[in-house]
Structure 1
Amino acid sequence: MKQNIREICKTLRLAYVADVYEKISFENPEQFLYGVLDEELKLRENAKINRLMKKAKFLDKKSLHTYEWTEQIRFPPHLTKEELCSLKFIENRQNIVLVGSPGTGKTHLATGLGRKACERGYEVRFYRIAHLVEELEQALHNHRLSVFRKRMEKVDLVILDEMGYLPFSKEGAELLFQIISEFYEQKSVIITSNLEFSQWNKIFTDSRLTAALVDRLIHHAHIISFHGESYRLSHALSKRN
């Protein structure tokens, strides 16, 4: 009988019912049926979230639950912490720009927002910008840039981490500009950077390209600035004392 149940569940594409039905307590048939289907739904949702997390390729498991909101974080007047964490910016296809010194929590916040987006069912991709540029250059040289663009079509949120640590080649800068331009008003982008916009000319070789890129990023963006000392440095110094 158990094997027959498994075969029927397989035919009906019920991935979990055969594994959980014996564990469902019930007082009547309706309650049992509800319990089985509810468990199937919950497990499907958990599996979907796990798939989205894996596809996002986060570098760590940092979340909003472990994030420390401090006075070092300066929000624009029109945005609150609660509004940011509601993820309405994704629904509205707006961008988030996190600017400040290294080690002040920008990547942690970006990752936490990305993980919450996955939990809400959004498609997310996380890139260190230097790695993204390398991938774009390789895709161009292998005539697979269209394949990369195709993969990004269903993505809702793109996180671009560490803008400003390494300068780009002219080709890399132009490819990055093209991709971000394609995201414009189609997807939400979170960018972390240790440089103010006025300093982005240090990493892009063309000042006109830099101006056009910044214009697209900030047109529908919430800019959050981070001040103070590095958390990592402070933690390391405290351990030495």
Structure 2
Amino acid sequence: MEISLTEEKYSLIKNSLLGFNLKTIHAHWAGIGGLEFEFEPEIIYLEIRNNLKQTLSEIIEVAGINWNLNIEIVSSTDSETLLKFTEIRNLSDIGDVTFDNSDFFSADVYNYILNNYDLKIDECECVISHSQIGNFEGEKTSDEFYSTGGEFTSNGSFSFIVFNDDEETDVSDDELEGIICRVVHNYILNYCSMDLSCFDYNFDFIDGQLEDISLTLSPTTILIKNLN
């Protein structure tokens, strides 16, 4: 994608990137307040910072990006600047996200804990916390996407504690994590595969509630050109 700017606005972009040695920019939507920006390193001059925010907001609007994003500066010259945008979408912004415990506690989970720990978790109180990352790749057929791959990997924070008769039992282990991970992994693929062809995801599952799921899309490059 290419976007052209007036010489004044382009100079503002170029001079900010080079003069302040900007490496990355984080942008997130703040309700009716529009986009908020975080610059790395920070720009201490308020007027320059505000003008840069306004110009970047116009670029993002023209590009049609409606989600939070990270911006990486690839290169900049007197005539053109190459930026790399990575969108970060939150499923709760796309629609209601629910994850019923009856789906989470599948028959495989019940049977595994019963056979390995001699516990009937439907008669116990449980506390589960879990974070997970994964990816999805899809190919388009007509107007639909179908999955051609997508494996999960865990960041190692899986925890499953069962309380029974005032006794606490830790049933966390790799095999149980794998059983549960697959359920959540497939849920995310099924929920998103009709909308996006490629993304990474991460989420937190705390105390039986599925927290916000964020999707990181594949990077998109935008070439900013000086009209003159």
Same fold (TM over 0.5): no
| Bigger proportion of residues as helix | 1
| Bigger proportion of residues as strand | 2
| TM-score class normalised by the smaller sequence | under 0.3
